[in-house]
Amino acid sequence: MITAICIVFILGYTAIALEHPIKINKAATALITAAVCWSIYALFAKDGHEASEYLTGHLGEVSGILFFLMGAMTIVELIDAHDGFHIITSRIKTTDKRKLVWLVAFITFFLSAVMDNLTTTIVLVSLLRKIIADKEERLMFAGLVVIAANSGGAWSPIGDVTTTMLWLGGQITAASIIVQTLVPSLVSMVIPAALIAWKMKGKLKLVEGDA
């Protein structure tokens, strides 16, 4: 039984990693993998009642995390819908490429620590679309945003789904994860930002109407 579950898990994880080549959504793959693994466990378990209790317990934990994230995302979306992030984005006035690299990197890094990575990325990429006219430069900045958002979400208990799950599950505390991962997260953001800033020179070509 354990061997079969391990094989299914490895195949499912591989399919998730190869999402783009095989063109199968990773969420669907994860759900199917989980369903098959639990089905195998239930079929071969000696005590069906015990298997049912395990499944109910795990579903309860996952449901709690999902409800927490739904509430948090609702608040974030309400703030965004009422231009609550305008107070941050409106203060970005510089057209110097290198200064903007560091400004975007640090704003993304700390904003992602209090929101989820995806929402932070959407907000910052939307900002970049409004101020950067050149497509190649915009893609470079968008890549920086993705890196900084992931780095920023890693050192906060509410900045990433993984850390949120660990925090709600009691495996970590807010203080410990901040103390132990803030510096590594900062380094993982600063190095790519420095490389991008090194390649950037001159002033930005602004989108018409923003000059």
Whether residues 59 and 130 fall in one domain: no
Containing structural domain, residue 84: 80-199
Share of the chain above pLDDT 70, in %: 88
**The last residue of a domain, from among 12, 30, 63:** 63
47 and 94 in a single domain? The answer is: no
Q: Is a pLDDT exceeding 60 seen at residue 208?
A: no
* 3-class secondary-structure state, position 83: coil
- pLDDT tens column, 63-93: 776 776 677 667 767 777 777 766 666 666 7
pLDDT exceeds 60 at position 4? yes
- Residue 76: the pLDDT is 67
- pLDDT one-digit tens code per residue, 116-149: 777 788 778 877 877 777 788 888 888 999 999 8
Confidence class of residue 32 from pLDDT cuts 50, 70 and 90?
A: very high
- Has residue 71 been placed in a domain? no
Are 42 and 85 in the same domain? no
Same domain, 117 and 164: yes
Q: Say if 75 falls within a structural domain.
A: no
91 shares a domain with 188: yes
The pLDDT value recorded for residue 207 is: 57
Enumerate residues 6+ apart whose C-beta is below 8 A from 180.
none
Asked whether residue 86 falls in the same domain as residue 183, the answer is yes
pLDDT at residue 194, rounded to an integer: 92
Residue with tokens 């209790």: 53
Provide mean pLDDT across the span 49-55. Answer: 75
Say which range, 87-96, 122-131, 180-189, 201-210, has the weakest mean pLDDT: 201-210
In a domain, 93, yes or no: yes
- Do 10 and 103 belong to one domain? no
Q: 125 and 89, same structural domain?
A: yes
Do 32 and 57 belong together in one domain?
A: yes
Among the ranges given (6-20, 25-39, 80-94), the one the predictor scored with the smallest mean pLDDT: 80-94
What residues contact residue 148 under an 8 Å CB cut-off, 6+ apart?
Answer: 104, 105, 106, 108, 109, 112, 189, 193
For the cut 70, the answer to whether the pLDDT of residue 107 exceeds it is: yes
Q: Same domain, yes or no, for 84 and 188?
A: yes
pLDDT band (50, 70, 90) for residue 14: very high
Is 211 a domain residue? no
Q: Are 57 and 155 contained in the same domain?
A: no
- What pLDDT score does 211 carry? 45
Same structural domain for residues 29 and 111? no
Looking at 20, 37, 63, the residue that finishes a domain is 63
Would you state the pLDDT for residue 152?
A: 87
Q: What is the pLDDT of residue 147?
A: 92
Number of H helices, E strands in the chain: 10, 0
pLDDT at 10 over 90: yes
User: How many domains does the chain divide into?
Assistant: 2
Mean pLDDT along residues 171-177: 78
Q: Which own/partner contact pairs does 42-45 have at CB distance under 8 Å and 24+ positions apart?
A: 44/1, 44/4, 45/1
User: Would residue 208 count as lying in a domain?
Assistant: no
